[in-house]
Structure 1
Amino acid sequence: MRPSRRAVLGAAATLAAAGCSSDVLGLRRGVRVAVSWSGQELRAFHDVLDGLGELEYPVEVVPLGDDISTAFGARSTRRPDLVMLPQPGLVPRHLHDLEPIPADLADRGRARLWAELLVHDGMTYGVPFKTAHKSAVWFRPSVFREAGLEPPRLWSEWLTVNQSLARAGVRPLSLAAGDGWVLTDFFENVLLATAPAVYAALATADSPQPSRQPQIAAALRLLGTMWSAPDTLAGGVERSLVQQFPDAVVEVFGHRRAAMVLASDFAEPVVRSFAADPDDVGIFTFPPLAPGAAAPVVVGGDVMVLPKPSSDDSLDLVRRLAAPAAVDPWVKEGGFLVDGRASGYSPELTQLAEQLSGTDGLLQFDLSDRLGRLGDINGLWRVLTDFLVRIGGRGGTVVPAAVDAAMTELRTVES
């Protein structure tokens, strides 16, 4: 996952001790755990650590936010011993920095979802900790009922639902364009639904060049039909561009100025905290393009990796965190999925977990995490942000020119 957490780190950027005092005060060196989480997610991780019981070594949690990749550059005695990496696509680029995972834990990294990212030359370099379903759409069922609508089963139905809601005076969609990864999630779902072979080829290419794929332009045109429709975005493009992920969720369930929001399973704690009516919460997943076609399922996640040289204590902590029951405290708080586990969740997350465990077709890992610099804030994020600015709420006539501009921008990023 890649929510932008920089704005909410604040005081949490200081070291937070868990379980025991800092190794500064003791003879035994502690295990320093670098994480990208903040707020509720960071508190939930501390609950997980507390649930491990008394450890023989101190544990320190270092919140690095969007700068999590800098954990690999540290070479001092204060470097992290364990990194909870929210971009598993970085693993192949940091193999020289990482210790292989022992055989007793390697099977988890060889599961269908993770093997391409974590297994190299027969060795496994990460243990999955958390899975994120990035094709989930949270909505308020009451709004749909009042308008006589059902959750869409096809992309065309989704466009019709949006038009019906807009005519009824309801803005259909809240969009967290302030977090570029939300825009890439949207685009990835459309691309996976329309051109799964191209998606897979880009994800595994040594030097991906999306601007040379006409299917990229086709996916942009399709996405443009939704984003360009008048009265679709709550607050228009202006608010969408400054709205971050939690704010977009609150827009639907707190302020109730929109009907739905594309948001991963980890939106659940925000949904539950702000929903005026706890029973007025629903979820559907990104619909397929045509009847009988497979629905796209884009997945993200966090993996545990061990920077070199690893210690016995850091390996012990990985083993403890990999135990099936270790994450129960976080599961109880909501917004947490484990690959292969489909029980113990809310009804909404159970629906997502069952889809993950039963999907044999269009299941792919987050593309932007695998494109390197092409997928980051100066690549696909920026291209899609500019695309939204050009088309947002302006009607379909502006889409062709905006697609051409986006493809030109992609070529510039690739060069």
Structure 2
Amino acid sequence: MLSRRRFLAAIPAAGLAAGCAGTRPLRVAVVWSGDELRRFLTVARDYPHRTVTVYSAGDNIAALLRGPSTEVAPDVAVIPRLGMLYEPGIRAGIRPLEDPPPQPEFWRRLVSPVPGRVLGAWFKIAHKSLVWHRDDHGLPLPETLDAWTRPRGTLSIGAADGWMLSDWFENVLLARSPGTYPGLGSQAELWGSAEVAEALELLAAVWQAGMTAEQGRRALTLQFHDSILDVFTYRTADLVAAPDFAWPVIARYGAAGVTAAHFRFPAASAAAGPPLVVGGDVALALNAGDPDAAAFVTWLTGPERPAALEAWAGEGGFLAPHIPPEVSPPGLRGPAGELVQARNARYDLSDRLTGPLAGGDGRGLWLILTDLFTAATVTRERPAAAAAAAAARLVATARKGAA
């Protein structure tokens, strides 16, 4: 198994300075490491007006933006969770964009918590309703969610990354109850609804049908990239639900002769449409930073994109509202077009949550779903019982945040 550390070590190292000499460098904080950080550095080097210094704040980026010190505050931050825009302590430090770049209305609304004030622009977006498989495998693919409760091939799930489990939950809930999904970020009482309980039970049933107890135990130690390798390199599993940025891992580490294919996450019924869960990274200019920060955000996310950004998109693993779908590799052009159009799309729920349910490994929604996964796959509890326990914990946790 290729561990995360070995995976990142296999990618060429990159320095943290970009650009040419000039005045004080523009400081840009990001959350990425490894290949994403290296690719972003190549983009930042193209900025023609200032030297740019890029540093990875990792999981501490929220704390960095909440912090009182202006001496170490970045001028620009690229944040991975939209919910951070809704935290008063962070939102107060964001400088609204006076002349924001043109982006589709769906995406613009997401970064405008207050009408008329655009707080950021989308640098990168993600399609989170894809299921990947080997094209020549002859697998009987599930046409509906209920059909997936019967075996349709072995699942691979990187359950050590809690966001992969929350992506599963969000797709199942959005497919089953599109009316309930949008309110969960702000209405704590909805966590106790029958719709949430039913989605949890269906999710547990799908996981249980797709994995043995031993496979479930192993999945708890797998991260995102390992789950991709299980399907396309080691061929020990048949299906993996993963965003579009699975593509670079497949392209780099897939076994010889293996062709990747994907389908949309199944709908609740043959008459219903499939869910579309989306995510992404938002670029922000900060009040405590340099006045030129907004110009950098506009350059980074506008239609006149740097050559290095287009090259990144052309290799796959990078989709954005300001990059035409035809720039992407052929296998990703369909998902790229779906993201730009964003018909009936809903933003990643766990990335919108604040308070006790906010995502993070070992806490909140991610922890509760990890325990549900364990109950369904490892201890083989009845899906209804496992779902009832998870629903009760979700309600109790949501009430703590509302108190």
Q: Same fold (TM over 0.5)?
A: yes
CA deviation vs aligned residue, 1:331-368 (integer Å, no higher than 9, x gap): 0231111126322111221121122244533x100011
Match of 1:403? 387
Separation of aligned partners in 2, 1:135 and 1:301 = 13
CA deviation vs aligned residue, 1:170-194 (integer Å, no higher than 9, x gap): xx21100000010000000000001
Question: TM-score normalised to the size of structure 1?
Answer: 0.85
Out of 336, 345, 352, the position equivalent to 2:318 is 336
Alignment: residue pair count? 385
Q: Secondary structure at the match of 1:267?
A: helix
Separation of aligned partners in 1, 2:231 and 2:214 = 12
Unaligned runs of 5+ in 1: 166-171
CA contact (8 A) 1:368 1:376 kept: yes
1:15/1:82 Cα in 2 relative to 1: closer, same or farther (>3 Å)? farther
Out of 57, 63, 67, the position equivalent to 1:70 is 63
Separation of aligned partners in 2, 1:333 and 1:151 = 27
Q: Is residue 2:286 matched to residue 1:290?
A: no
Out of 108, 112, 123, the position equivalent to 1:118 is 112
Separation of aligned partners in 1, 2:6 and 2:392 = 31
Letter in 2 for 1:351: G
CA deviation vs aligned residue, 1:292-319 (integer Å, no higher than 9, x gap): 2011000000111111134243222212
CA contact (8 A) 2:277 2:346 kept: yes
Separation of aligned partners in 1, 2:157 and 2:31 = 22
1:222/1:43 Cα in 2 relative to 1: closer, same or farther (>3 Å)? same
CA contact (8 A) 1:89 1:117 kept: no
Q: Is residue 2:179 matched to residue 1:197?
A: yes
Q: Is residue 2:134 matched to residue 1:154?
A: no
CA contact (8 A) 1:272 1:278 kept: no
Out of 253, 257, 261, the position equivalent to 2:232 is 253
CA contact (8 A) 1:12 1:38 kept: no
Separation of aligned partners in 1, 2:37 and 2:167 = 23
Q: Is residue 2:399 matched to residue 1:391?
A: no
- When structure 1 is superposed on structure 2, of 81-90 and 370-379 the one drifting more is 370-379
Q: How does 1:102-251 map to 2 (within 5 A)?
A: 102-105=98-101, 107-108=102-103, 111-143=105-137, 145=138, 149-160=139-150, 163=151, 165=153, 172-203=154-185, 205=186, 207-229=187-209, 232=211, 236-251=215-230
Match of 1:46? 41
CA contact (8 A) 1:174 1:233 kept: no
Deviation, 1:95, is 1.9
Match of 1:169? none
CA contact (8 A) 1:35 1:62 kept: yes
Separation of aligned partners in 2, 1:141 and 1:92 = 41
1:95/1:6 Cα in 2 relative to 1: closer, same or farther (>3 Å)? farther
CA contact (8 A) 1:133 1:299 kept: yes
Q: Is residue 2:3 matched to residue 1:18?
A: no
Question: What is the aligned-residue RMSD (CA, Å)?
Answer: 2.6
CA contact (8 A) 1:137 1:283 kept: yes
CA contact (8 A) 1:252 1:261 kept: yes
- When structure 1 is superposed on structure 2, of 258-267 and 115-124 the one drifting more is 115-124
Q: Secondary structure at the match of 1:173?
A: coil
1:399/1:412 Cα in 2 relative to 1: closer, same or farther (>3 Å)? same
Letter in 2 for 1:155: L
Separation of aligned partners in 1, 2:396 and 2:203 = 21
CA deviation vs aligned residue, 1:72-101 (integer Å, no higher than 9, x gap): 134232211100111122112122111011
1:114/1:7 Cα in 2 relative to 1: closer, same or farther (>3 Å)? farther
Deviation, 1:45, is 1.0
Unaligned runs of 5+ in 2: none
Separation of aligned partners in 2, 1:8 and 1:302 = 22
- When structure 1 is superposed on structure 2, of 270-279 and 327-336 the one drifting more is 270-279
Q: Secondary structure at the match of 1:383?
A: helix
Match of 2:366? 381
Q: Is residue 2:337 matched to residue 1:354?
A: yes
**After the TM superposition, which segments of 4 or more aligned residues of structure 1 sit over 4 Å from their partners?**
5-15
Question: TM-score normalised to the size of structure 2?
Answer: 0.88
Separation of aligned partners in 1, 2:245 and 2:257 = 17
Identical columns (%):
34
- When structure 1 is superposed on structure 2, of 177-186 and 231-240 the one drifting more is 231-240
